[in-house]
Structure 1
Amino acid sequence: MSSSSSITLKGCYTVTPMEPTWRGCLPLTEFDQLGIAIYTPILFYYRPPQNWLTPPTKIATTLKHSLSKVLVHFYPLAGRLRSKGNKHFELECNAKGAQFIEAESSLTLSDLGDFSSSSDNYRSYLFPQVDYTLPIQDRPLLIVQLTNFKCGDISISLLASHAVVDGQSATHFIAEWAQLARGEPLKRVPFLDRNILHNKEPCNGVNECKFDKPPLLLENSDSNVEEERKKKTTVAIIHVSKAQVERLRKIANESWNKPSNERNYTIYETITGHIWRSACIARGLKIDQPTVFGVVVDFRSRVKPSLPKKYFGNAIVNVVATSLAGDLMSKPLGYASSRIKEAIEKVNDEYVRSTLTDYIKRDYDRTLMYGYTVPFYRNPNLGAVSWTMLSYQKFDFGWGEEVYVIPGIHNILEGETYILPSSQVDGSLMCFICLQEVYMSAFKRHFYEGVIELDSLSKL
């Protein structure tokens, strides 16, 4: 097994469903197809009480046993992808199982810091690795790694295939797994029929497609675009208190005129608007530089009829907010929030059907390249995925709730942001953002100056 100087992989096991499951092939929707090569990483850090540390195998045994039980209900994650030709795949439910890895580490939580340093490669070893040399039909769709730290703490990290799950589905799975690990019955049965999206009626012609186009490039940059993209990147964690969140939201809603019958800007629209304009200033963009902000929108409740709440699959679509950098930098925060709000609100049943039938099926390669696997990020653009509504916090497998949770930021894209509730669960937020290293200090300065006195941004 491979290892770093601080983390050693001790064993690798296959965990199959405890009981016989349905065998056969499930169709993948076009939204699933776009995530074929992507695995979503997430890590939970725990401090189990002493009674869970003896014998040393107790936690691993509990996790493997409960994983075997939960895969009976979530059996697509125990299957494999199979090619149908023409770059399309289907999901073969064959109960081949998930991969479970055990590792040991001499590190402690204080050694890990806030995970934002890109120079400490050992952090990536806390996440399982996908063996992309294997044929796709042999790759597990779910990979779990349990890391035991010498201090008695543990981490549980997961890689779940984006062809099978989106954020809501992954959350649902982890919650039910924890439920069974605690000895409690399954609470919410997943809805596994993906034909519900295949039955959407197409729009009348590709000209009516409303799917967002590929991202804009550095059109007005003085430097070579390719050289600009090669600049070293770094990740920072921006902490925003509940009071700061409320202050920003109040300013956003009061600083930009909108019809009286329109709803107020959400926390997401407020925070991302502030991130967008702060990054434009930090990057030194010209006032006539076009920039876009990519947003991932869950459409379960936006289509007609609504999808079942526990629909197990991908029900997300990328949209973009657009603006000139100069407008973002000179106008109040509410303007940036209004651009993001407008992008989100255009996702309705017609938009989803247009995306599903007209654009993706007719222009699949282009969508695969720009619409999902290379989202609307990178200078001068940004994008943000919000985990604030996904209940990613507080999963108790029997030894208490996690003390820390992070996305897999060791492979985060430049311009990409993850927004999570803080570990204190007090209404504060953590924003994991990746930018080119040369701009990060300026970004943090402008971001926090804006939190303290937002009006100062327009004077910079």
Structure 2
Amino acid sequence: MSSSSSKVTLKSCYSVRPKEPTWNGVLPLSEWDQIGIITHVPTIYFYHPTQDWLTSPTKISHTLKESLSKVLVTFYPLAGRLQWQENGRFDLECNSSGVQFIEAQSTLALSEFNDFSPSSEYYRYLIPQVDYTLPIQDIPLIFVQLTNFKCGGVSIGLLISHAVADGQSALHFTSEWARLARGETIKTTPFFDRSVVSLKSQCCNSVNEWEFNQPPSLLGNSDGVEETKRKSTVAIIKVSKVQLEKLRKTANESWEKPSNGRGFTRYEIVTSHVWRSACKARGHRNDQPTVLGVCVDWRNRVEPNLPKGYFGNATLDIMATSLAGDLMSKPLGYASSRIREAIEKVNDEYVRQVSDYFKKQEDLTKFQDVHAMIRNDDKGPFYGNPNLGVVSWLTLPIYGLDFGWGREIYMGPGTHEIDGDSLLLPSHDHDGSLSVAICLQELYMDAFKKHFYEDIV
């Protein structure tokens, strides 16, 4: 449970269970659910409710809890608990144990949050904290924190377990929750049967082992220990529509058109600029190998496509590789082409090969993030400097979550300070701009901003 500060005080904590009896039993999870991020992913929404919602101090809280209880009837696995098996694998026990709902009061006003930057000293008190040293069967899959501010505004801090839902599925859940809160009905029923992602390869080829092993380390610091101990910080970098068009023109005119004739996408262009700017800011040698992790949703990249409403994980982290010197010296289109090449590998046969690869693993522990967090040590792969991961929310329906008192005034990622993690967010105002939420070691952040903006020409 979240800790309090002098400006944010926790008032109460509830367990919200499905409003009606639901199916009880063990839901097998796929390998896709059990690799990579299996911890909770934080997001936060800020609202200015209308006055009729503020007349009763319990009206908003009651609406959220009541609709949450209703939506958990349909999304009943989210009220369950994970259960460890052997060899780093786990199942999902559907047992209606419930989700955690926290209420907090703040003496702050929304205007004190510096454009809602995650670097605000109070930001972390608005989002629940999870104790991963607890037995996994004791940890809810969802945490909600409602914080009331002195100005009448509220925030909703959400944590959703990535082991049961990727970004697409998590947003499916929150949008249906909001629909019920507004008095509407479920629009798209979730599809829970994981057997549809038990894909078998028809080809004898296999994936490259290196794609799932230790990423390159910083030259001269092979164990990476020094890097893991450096303090990180988060910044939100704004990219205007004009700046985006400049980057698009630079990338597409500086490199031969991809084989399919399509110009580079927003993701490929901005991410390539982030990658080369980070190399410059970090002062990499020309012969420094660097990897960029790209998260690809493959729901519509397999035959047949996954069913509408498929609820679970259907994403694959693919690696774009380069030498830092090539990224920094060659035109922007080179970096974009390296990213395009990695993404285009993700087709039906490749997804099946990766599925086979993970099915054959005796132990999945080394592919999961939770173990390093529990140990809190320097063992295990380090994905920060000289590497990056850039996740795109550009095409996800992340905005417009209306529980009945209007859409949010701001939505963004929660606090997640891991060096090299970054996220692309579309403009909340639909004005053609976007934002890069990036976490870097503190000593490189100013240089990163300098290179990022100076190199947009």
Partner of 1:435: 440
Q: Percent identity?
A: 60
Conservation of the 8 A alpha-carbon contact between 1:145 and 1:157 = yes
Pair 1:5 & 2:6 matched = yes
Partner of 1:323: 322
Distance 1:331 1:354 in 2: 33
| Code of the aligned partner of 2:247 | L
Pair 1:384 & 2:414 matched = no
- Distance change (3 Å), C-alpha of 1:259 and 1:40: closer
Pair 1:357 & 2:356 matched = yes
Other structure's SS at 2:292 match: strand
- Distance change (3 Å), C-alpha of 1:317 and 1:260: closer
| Code of the aligned partner of 1:146 | L
Pair 1:181 & 2:188 matched = no
| Code of the aligned partner of 1:233 | S
Q: Which moved more, 1:415-424 or 1:323-332?
A: 415-424
Distance 2:259 2:133 in 1: 57
Distance 1:379 1:272 in 2: 16
Partner of 2:232: 233
| Code of the aligned partner of 1:355 | V
Other structure's SS at 1:443 match: helix
Deviation at 1:84, TM superposition (A): 2.6
Partner of 1:274: 273
Query: Any idea what the Cα deviations from partners look like across 1:11-50, whole Å, max 9, x if unmatched?
Result: 1111111122111111100011125741011000000011
Partner of 2:309: 310
- Distance change (3 Å), C-alpha of 1:49 and 1:196: same
Q: TM-score if structure 1 supplies the norm length?
A: 0.92
Between Structure 1 and Structure 2, how many residues are aligned?
Answer: 448
Partner of 1:62: 63
Partner of 2:377: none
Q: Which moved more, 1:313-322 or 1:83-92?
A: 83-92
Matches within 5 A, 1:19-418: 19-34=20-35, 37-116=38-117, 118=119, 120=121, 122-198=122-198, 200-202=199-201, 208-210=206-208, 212-221=211-220, 225-259=224-258, 261-359=260-358, 361-362=360-361, 364-365=363-364, 367-369=366-368, 377-409=383-415, 411-418=416-423
Equivalent residue for 1:422, pick from 417, 422, 427:
427
Conservation of the 8 A alpha-carbon contact between 1:13 and 1:101 = yes
Other structure's SS at 1:143 match: strand
Conservation of the 8 A alpha-carbon contact between 1:102 and 1:145 = yes
Distance 2:86 2:307 in 1: 30
Other structure's SS at 1:430 match: strand
Conservation of the 8 A alpha-carbon contact between 1:219 and 1:289 = yes
Conservation of the 8 A alpha-carbon contact between 2:50 and 2:405 = yes
Conservation of the 8 A alpha-carbon contact between 2:292 and 2:320 = yes
Q: Which moved more, 1:415-424 or 1:325-334?
A: 415-424
| Code of the aligned partner of 1:65 | E
Conservation of the 8 A alpha-carbon contact between 2:114 and 2:120 = no
Conservation of the 8 A alpha-carbon contact between 2:47 and 2:409 = yes
Conservation of the 8 A alpha-carbon contact between 2:218 and 2:288 = yes
| Code of the aligned partner of 1:76 | P
Q: Which moved more, 1:257-266 or 1:235-244?
A: 257-266
Query: Any idea what the Cα deviations from partners look like across 1:374-408, whole Å, max 9, x if unmatched?
Result: 88831111111111111111111110110111112
Other structure's SS at 1:208 match: coil
| TM-align CA RMSD | 2.2
